[in-house]
Chain A
Amino acid sequence: MFSLEHFLVVGAALFCIGVVIIITKRNAIVVLMGIELILNAANINLVAFSRYDANVLQGQMFALFVIVVAAAEAAVALAIVLRVYQYYQTVHLDKLDELKEK
């Protein structure tokens, strides 16, 4: 059987993988995928903890809201990425260097 710990370990692993992707990858789309991993790590935690909650639905409700917000965020993010591509012909983050300390 699975215990709470199993879910927490999966959640923590996803969180770490997400953070590492965000830090090391240089493609805007891949960074966005890293962010999705972090959000889903939190979702796993929320649903797992919700099992032990006296009024069970709180965590699951939270996870549902997170999924909806993540979809909205992805829509905006991809629109902005498209806009960036129009101007730069690339979504490689290191090549976006118009704004920096002079």
Chain B
Amino acid sequence: MLSDKLNQLLQSLSGFLPEVSLAALFVVLIIVDLIFYNKEQKPTVYIALAGLVFVGVLTYQQWNQLPSPISLFLGMIVVDKTAILFKGIFLVAAVLTLLLSLHNHKESDERSYLKSGEYVSLLVAITLGLHLMAMAANLLMIYLSVELVSISSYILATFKHNKKGSEGGLKYLLFGAMSSGIMLYGMSLLYGFTGTLSLSLQEGTTFITELLAVHSLPVLLAVFLTVGGLLFKIAAAPFHIWAPDVYESAPTPVVAFFSVAPKAAGFAVLLRFLLSTWLLYPDQIGSEHFSPIRAILIAIAILTLIVGNFSALWQKNAKRMLAYSSIAHAGFMLAGLLAVNELGWQSVLFYLVVYLFMNFAAFLLIDAIYQQRQTEEIEDYKGLGIQNQFLGVAFLIVMIALTGLPPTAGFTAKLFIFSALWQDYQSTGDNLVLLLFVVGLFNVVVALFYYLRIPYYMFFRSGKELNTINLGMYTVLLLVFLIVAVFLFFFKADWLMNIITAASIN
């Protein structure tokens, strides 16, 4: 008995190589940091970059060698191609974050975070947590991985050693700890109703058949307490209050990472939780028992879209504006998830990949301007586009992509989401879905105003003549890479879509 289980655990390790390597990398980074204690130049960033690339190679091999989904560690985690695709997203995000942290950094006080090895090792720890989130198939595993990501994020959010940094970190911590507590209470109720923590459908007593035996009101309550914690991670309204403060106060590379990777992981867990338990499929479970779940989630998506876009209109700080914009993007992705069909969640994956590149480009631009001018206020961007045409044009392209206009991949991503919603409306005739569709379209128009305000200020308003902006080769190359990716996924959207379809077959 026991030896069987131990054998199974040992065998599971072979399917767990990327995560084992991440954990090893974390330890190595801490030791290297200790060895180079008190030295000016530390190799931690480069070791982390090399390590993450190595993990990327392992993940790619896993993708090629995976015939069908496998369940590891007695069903605690499931490795399927969707999870591996998510892992790829996290790794790219982590590498880009390190590259952003490296770029052009002067020995100023605010950038001292790069000197401490904890910064890099915590980033690796978050990446490990995100990997586990993408694969978790058990309530315990979901809770543990969410907490690994959250606790490391609280520390990273305070890494700007100033007044604002500490305040943002404390706010993030209090909101985050409360929401994970509420999620945990929901999970404890779900465990009580079903008698199992496993979400997978293969076992004898499945999650959903047990849930169907209970009266729907307590189940709805428990599901919403649980989903609330995940909605906090993706910053959906009304769980978004932390986002603007944290985005304004945390170091910019960290913010870029927060806006993409934990959000993607939140969607990965939501996908697993809602789809593998069939909670959104009344046809599959043969009952309308849980239809309010979908209705309320649609209401949340609509609220998120409206709150995100309309609050962004009034923002004067560029990072705060991007915070609200990221809330609005979460609304679009939630809409894609709620179009309960194949195209729906494929479009969410597509959106996430595109969002990764365009959001990192936006934060890189804001960071580059901050380094030259020490300002993140949109007012101060006046005339920058005339002074430095490359910067202006890059900003224009990124903002067009974030709005969702052709010829950028932002358009393709929104197009997929809307077609999934329309397809769902045609098959179900649900008026709520139509409402979501219309609100979504309306919000794209609203988004146009606040995104294009920045390039407008840059080109058509004259600002104070200050020192010229000099981006430097490294920043320019990184920007060109990100922008080429944004164009590439528009002109060759089928490349990415083929990968995503391959990921969703098994």
Interfacial residues, chain A to chain B (CB-CB below 8 A): 8, 11, 15, 18-19, 22, 28, 31-32, 34-35, 38-39, 41-43, 45-46, 48-49, 52-54, 58-59, 61-62, 65-66, 69, 72-73, 76-77, 80-81, 83-84, 86-88, 93, 96, 98-102
With both chains docked as a complex, state the minimum distance between the C-beta of B176 and any C-beta of chain A, in angstroms.
9
Q: How far is the CA of A38 from the CA of B154 in the complex (A)?
A: 19
The 8 A CB mask of B245-258 against A (1 = contact, 0 = none) is 10011000000000
The 8 A CB mask of B176-195 against A (1 = contact, 0 = none) is 01100110110111011001
Q: How far is the CA of A92 from the CA of B192 in the complex (A)?
A: 38
Asked whether A65 and B174 contact (CB < 8 A) given A72-B151, A87-B166, A102-B316, the answer is no
> B196 at the A/B interface (Cβ < 8 Å)?
yes
With both chains docked as a complex, state the minimum distance between the C-beta of A22 and any C-beta of chain B, in angstroms.
6
Partner of B166, one of A43, A59, A76, A86: A86
Q: How far is the CA of A15 from the CA of B186 in the complex (A)?
A: 11
Q: How far is the CA of A42 from the CA of B154 in the complex (A)?
A: 22
The SS class assigned to the B binding surface is: helix
Q: How far is the CA of A37 from the CA of B162 in the complex (A)?
A: 31
Q: How far is the CA of A49 from the CA of B188 in the complex (A)?
A: 8
* B188 A96 Cβ-Cβ under 8 A: no
Select from chain B the residue with minimum beta-carbon distance to A45: B188
Asked whether A73 and B151 contact (CB < 8 A) given A38-B178, A62-B140, A66-B184, the answer is yes
* A99 B164 Cβ-Cβ under 8 A: yes
The SS class assigned to the A binding surface is: helix
* B173 A80 Cβ-Cβ under 8 A: yes
Partner of A58, one of B168, B170, B191: B191
Q: 5 closest Cβ contacts across the A-B interface? A: A38-B181, A45-B188, A49-B192, A42-B184, A99-B245
With both chains docked as a complex, state the minimum distance between the C-beta of A60 and any C-beta of chain B, in angstroms.
11
Q: A32-B177, A65-B143 are in contact. List 5 more A-B contacts (CB 8 A).
A: A38-B184, A41-B185, A45-B189, A76-B173, A77-B177
Q: How far is the CA of A43 from the CA of B187 in the complex (A)?
A: 10
- Chain A residues with CB under 8 Å of B170's CB are 28, 80-81, 84, 96
* A80 B166 Cβ-Cβ under 8 A: yes
* B185 A38 Cβ-Cβ under 8 A: yes
Within 8 A of A (CB), among B217-248: 244-245, 248
- Chain A residues with CB under 8 Å of B316's CB are 102
25 A-B residue pairs with Cβ-Cβ distance under 8 Å, sorted by A, are A11-B188, A15-B185, A22-B178, A28-B170, A35-B178, A39-B184, A42-B181, A42-B184, A46-B188, A48-B192, A49-B188, A58-B140, A61-B140, A66-B184, A73-B151, A77-B154, A77-B177, A80-B166, A80-B169, A80-B170, A83-B166, A87-B162, A87-B166, A96-B167, A101-B244
Select from chain A the residue with minimum beta-carbon distance to B196: A58
> B158 at the A/B interface (Cβ < 8 Å)?
yes
> B197 at the A/B interface (Cβ < 8 Å)?
yes
Select from chain B the residue with minimum beta-carbon distance to A82: B166
With both chains docked as a complex, state the minimum distance between the C-beta of A95 and any C-beta of chain B, in angstroms.
10
Asked whether A53 and B177 contact (CB < 8 A) given A69-B147, A99-B171, the answer is no
> B478 at the A/B interface (Cβ < 8 Å)?
no
Partner of B140, one of A28, A35, A65: A65
- Chain B residues with CB under 8 Å of A38's CB are 178, 181-182, 184-185
Q: How many CB-defined contacts (below 8 Å) exist between A and B?
A: 124
Q: How far is the CA of A34 from the CA of B174 in the complex (A)?
A: 10
- Chain B residues with CB under 8 Å of A11's CB are 188
Q: How far is the CA of A68 from the CA of B470 in the complex (A)?
A: 49
> B464 at the A/B interface (Cβ < 8 Å)?
no
Q: How far is the CA of A11 from the CA of B166 in the complex (A)?
A: 33
With both chains docked as a complex, state the minimum distance between the C-beta of A89 and any C-beta of chain B, in angstroms.
11
* A80 B177 Cβ-Cβ under 8 A: no
> B439 at the A/B interface (Cβ < 8 Å)?
no
Asked whether A42 and B187 contact (CB < 8 A) given A99-B249, A102-B316, the answer is yes
* B178 A83 Cβ-Cβ under 8 A: no
Asked whether A99 and B166 contact (CB < 8 A) given A15-B185, A61-B140, the answer is no
Asked whether A45 and B192 contact (CB < 8 A) given A76-B173, A80-B166, A99-B248, the answer is yes
> B215 at the A/B interface (Cβ < 8 Å)?
no
Q: How far is the CA of A59 from the CA of B144 in the complex (A)?
A: 14
Select from chain B the residue with minimum beta-carbon distance to A41: B185
* B181 A52 Cβ-Cβ under 8 A: no
* B164 A65 Cβ-Cβ under 8 A: no
- Chain A residues with CB under 8 Å of B317's CB are 102
Q: How far is the CA of A8 from the CA of B188 in the complex (A)?
A: 11
With both chains docked as a complex, state the minimum distance between the C-beta of B162 and any C-beta of chain A, in angstroms.
8
Select from chain B the residue with minimum beta-carbon distance to A81: B170
> B492 at the A/B interface (Cβ < 8 Å)?
no
Q: How far is the CA of A98 from the CA of B140 in the complex (A)?
A: 37
Q: How far is the CA of A35 from the CA of B184 in the complex (A)?
A: 11
Partner of B195, one of A52, A61, A99, A102: A52
Q: How far is the CA of A49 from the CA of B151 in the complex (A)?
A: 28
Select from chain A the residue with minimum beta-carbon distance to B141: A65
Q: How far is the CA of A93 from the CA of B245 in the complex (A)?
A: 14
Within 8 A of A (CB), among B95-122: none
